[in-house]
C-alpha cells in the first residue's frame, strides 16, 4: 500500500473537531456551547472530565500543523466552534475567535495543508438552546445559515472545502446553508460543499429474508434518511412503510433544495454489526428500537472482529468495502470522502508504551486496503481522513479513550507521535 495505490489527486488527511481538541472552552470570548453545560453536570462523562483544556490546540495549532506536514498529509479537517464566532449564536461577532481561525487557516495554507472546514460538530451555542430549544425550532435554520454564511464570507477565500454538519438531524437546515453557498459564494470562491454522515455497516446475521430486510431498515434509518432525499428527493421506502404518515413530505421547493444538493458526502466509517429481525419486542433495546432491528457483535459465538477500547468499536475492515460499494450501488456515482476512520486505545496508556500502536497500524492498513479494493472496482471516493490527529476529548468517554496517531500527555500537553504517525509518513511519501 502506498500513496500511488490510490487514484491521482486522492486526498489524505486527518480529522478533529473543535470541542474535542481546542480547549479554551470558556475563554477567548467564546460563548458556552451545549456540551460545556452537559459535561458540568456530574455523572455524564467518565471521571467527570471536561474539555476546558483538552489538547489545547488553540495554543498548539502550529505544532499540530507542523506534525501534519511532517507526516506528509495533504489536508486537515477541523471544525469551527459556532459559539467562538457568535457567542450568543447570532448577532455579536467575537473577533478574537475569528482571529484564531484565521491564524489556523493561514498556517495550514502556509504549510501546504488543504483546510477542510466543518461548520458543526455537536457544539450548538447554549444561548440558542435556551432561547428556543435549539434544533427543535425552525428558527435554527436561519441562524445556522447566517453563521455558515459568515464563515463562507470570512474564511472562504482560503477554505475551499466545506462540510455543513457532522451527523445531521435536520435536512432542511442543511439545505438552507448549501443554497446560500451555491448562490453567493461557490462560483466566486470555487469551492465545494457536503455533509458528514456516520455509516457503520449493517450485515444481516443470517441469509434469511427477514434478516436482510432488517439490515436494510437499519441502513435506511441510519443513512438512507439523508442520502435518499439528497439523491431521489424522498425518504427511503422502508421509512415510508414504517413511519408512514408521521414522515413529513418534502414540499416541491424542499425537494429541489435537497435533491442533489451536495458536491460530496463525507462518510465516517468505523465498525460493522450483525443485524437480525427482532423476534419479539424484548429483543430490542430502547436505543435501537426505532430502527426495528436487533444488533449483535457475534455470530454462532464468533465475534465479528477484535474490539478496540470503545464498547461500540469492533475492527471489521471488510465493512469499509461493503459501505463504499453499497453507496455506489444504491445511490449512483456520488462523490464520497471517507471523513473519519480510526480506532482507540485505553486512556490510561502511558509513555512510552502508548506509542507502540501496532494494532492501529494494522487497522489503518486493513481498512485502507479494503477501501482501495472498492475504488479499484469503480467507487467514486476522492479522499480519506484518519480520526484522529491527536488524542482528544472523546465525548462521554472523556479522556478514557485515545484515538490519536499522536499521543497527548495531558499533564503538560506535549505531543508524542505514535508509531502509526510514522507509518502514515512512509505511506504518504511522495515518490519522485
Ligand atoms: C463522532 C465524531 C467524533 C468521534 C469519533 C470517535 O462521530 O462522534 O465525529 O467526534 O470522536 O467518531 O468516536
52 in ligand 1 pocket by Cβ < 6 Å?
no
Q: Return the best residue to mutate from 119, 122, 340 for the ligand 1 pocket (most ligand atoms within 8 A of CB).
A: 340
Residue 178 has pLDDT above 90, yes or no: no
79 in ligand 1 pocket by Cβ < 6 Å?
no
3-state secondary structure of 18: helix
Identify whether 196 is preceded by a cis peptide bond (ω within 30 of 0): no
For the entire predicted model, the pTM comes to: 0.95
88 flagged as catalytic = no
Q: What is the mean pLDDT of residues 216-231?
A: 88
221 in ligand 1 pocket by Cβ < 6 Å?
no
Which range, of 150-154, 200-204, 254-258, 263-267, averages the lowest pLDDT?
A: 254-258
Matching residue, cell 495531558:
410
Residue 290 has pLDDT above 60, yes or no: no
ipTM: 0.93
Q: What is the mean pLDDT of residues 161-182?
A: 73
340 flagged as catalytic = yes
Identify whether 352 is preceded by a cis peptide bond (ω within 30 of 0): yes
Q: What's the pLDDT at 287?
A: 43
Q: What's the pLDDT at 291?
A: 56
Q: What is the mean pLDDT of residues 269-274?
A: 96
Q: Where are the beta strands (DSSP E) in 55-212?
A: 75-79, 114-118, 161-166, 192-198, 201-204
Listing DSSP states for 244-284 in one string gives GGGSPPPPHHHHHHHTT--SEEEEE---EEEEE--SSGGGS
Calpha distance 323→115 (Å, rounded)? 26
Residue that wins the pLDDT comparison between 139 and 165? 139
Please work out, in degrees rounded to the nearest 5, the angle formed at the alpha carbon of residue 73 by the alpha carbons of 341 and 185: 85
Residue 28 has pLDDT above 90, yes or no: yes
387 in ligand 1 pocket by Cβ < 6 Å?
yes
Rounded to the nearest angstrom, the gap between the alpha carbon of residue 80 and the centroid of all alpha carbons in its chain is 13
Matching residue, cell 465475534:
303
391 in ligand 1 pocket by Cβ < 6 Å?
no
Calpha distance 12→114 (Å, rounded)? 10
Listing DSSP states for 359-372 in one string gives HHHHHHHHHHHHHH
Q: Does the domain formed by 3-427 have CATH 3.20.20.80?
A: yes
Calpha distance 93→30 (Å, rounded)? 10
Residue 91: which H helix or E strand, with range? none
266 CA distance to ligand 1 middle (Å):
13
**Number of helices (H) and strands (E), helices first, in the chain?**
17, 17
Percent of the chain surpassing pLDDT 70: 94
Give the sign of the dihedral formed by CA 151, CA 155, CA 87, CA 34.
positive
Closest CA to 78 of 36, 37, 44, 123: 123
Ligand 1 atom 10: residue of nearest CA: 17
Amino acid at each position: 500500500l502506498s500513496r500511488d495505490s490510490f487514484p491521482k489527486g486522492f486526498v489524505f488527511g486527518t480529522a478533529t473537531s473543535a470541542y474535542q481538541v481546542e480547549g479554551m472552552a470558556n475563554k477567548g470570548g467564546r460563548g458556552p456551547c451545549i456540551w460545556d453545560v452537559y459535561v458540568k453536570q456530574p455523572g455524564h462523562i467518565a471521571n467527570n472530565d471536561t474539555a476546558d483544556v483538552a489538547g489545547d490546540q488553540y495554543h498548539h495549532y502550529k505544532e499540530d500543523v507542523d506534525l501534519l506536514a511532517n507526516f506528509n498529509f495533504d489536508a486537515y479537517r477541523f471544525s469551527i466552534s459556532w459559539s467562538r464566532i457568535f457567542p450568543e449564536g447570532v448577532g455579536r461577532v467575537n473577533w478574537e475567535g475569528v482571529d484564531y481561525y484565521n491564524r489556523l487557516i493561514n498556517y495550514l495554507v502556509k504549510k501546504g495543508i488543504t483546510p477542510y472546514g466543518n461548520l458543526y460538530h455537536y457544539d450548538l451555542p447554549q444561548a440558542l438552546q435556551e432561547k428556543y430549544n435549539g434544533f427543535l425550532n425552525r428558527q435554527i435554520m436561519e441562524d445556522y445559515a447566517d453563521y455558515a454564511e459568515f464563515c463562507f464570507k470570512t474564511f472562504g477565500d482560503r477554505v475551499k472545502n466545506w462540510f455543513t454538519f457532522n451527523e445531521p438531524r435536520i435536512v432542511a437546515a442543511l439545505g438552507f446553508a448549501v443554497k446560500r453557498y451555491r448562490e453567493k459564494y461557490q462560483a466566486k470562491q470555487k469551492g465545494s460543499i457536503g455533509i458528514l454522515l456516520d455509516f457503520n455497516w449493517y450485515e444481516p446475521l443470517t441469509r434469511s429474508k427477514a434478516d436482510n430486510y432488517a439490515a436494510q431498515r437499519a441502513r435506511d434509518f441510519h443513512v438512507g434518511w439523508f442520502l435518499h432525499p439528497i439523491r431521489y428527493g424522498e425518504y427511503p421506502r422502508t421509512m415510508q412503510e414504517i413511519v408512514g404518515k408521521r414522515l413529513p413530505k418534502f414540499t416541491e421547493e424542499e425537494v429541489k433544495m435537497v435533491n442533489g444538493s451536495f458536491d460530496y458526502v463525507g462518510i465516517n466509517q468505523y465498525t460493522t454489526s450483525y443485524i437480525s429481525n427482532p423476534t419479539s419486542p424484548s429483543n430490542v433495546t430502547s436505543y435501537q428500537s426505532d430502527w426495528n432491528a436487533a444488533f449483535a457483535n457475534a455470530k454462532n459465538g464468533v465475534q465479528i472482529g477484535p474490539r478496540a477500547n470503545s464498547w461500540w468499536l469492533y475492527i471489521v475492515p471488510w465493512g469499509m468495502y461493503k459501505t463504499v460499494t453499497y453507496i455506489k450501488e444504491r445511490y449512483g456515482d456520488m462523490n464520497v470522502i471517507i471523513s473519519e476512520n480510526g480506532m482507540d486505545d485505553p486512556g490510561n496508556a502511558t509513555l512510552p508504551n502508548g506509542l507502540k500502536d501496532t494494532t492501529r497500524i494494522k487497522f489503518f492498513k486493513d481498512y485502507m486496503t479494503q477501501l482501495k479494493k472498492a475504488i479499484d472496482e469503480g467507487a467514486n471516493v476522492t479522499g480519506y481522513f484518519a480520526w484522529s490527529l491527536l488524542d482528544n476529548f472523546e465525548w462521554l468517554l472523556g479522556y478514557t479513550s485515545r484515538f490519536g496517531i499522536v499521543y497527548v500527555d495531558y499533564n503538560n500537553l506535549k505531543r508524542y507521535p505514535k508509531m502509526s504517525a510514522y507509518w502514515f509518513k512512509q505511506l504518504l511519501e511522495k515518490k519522485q
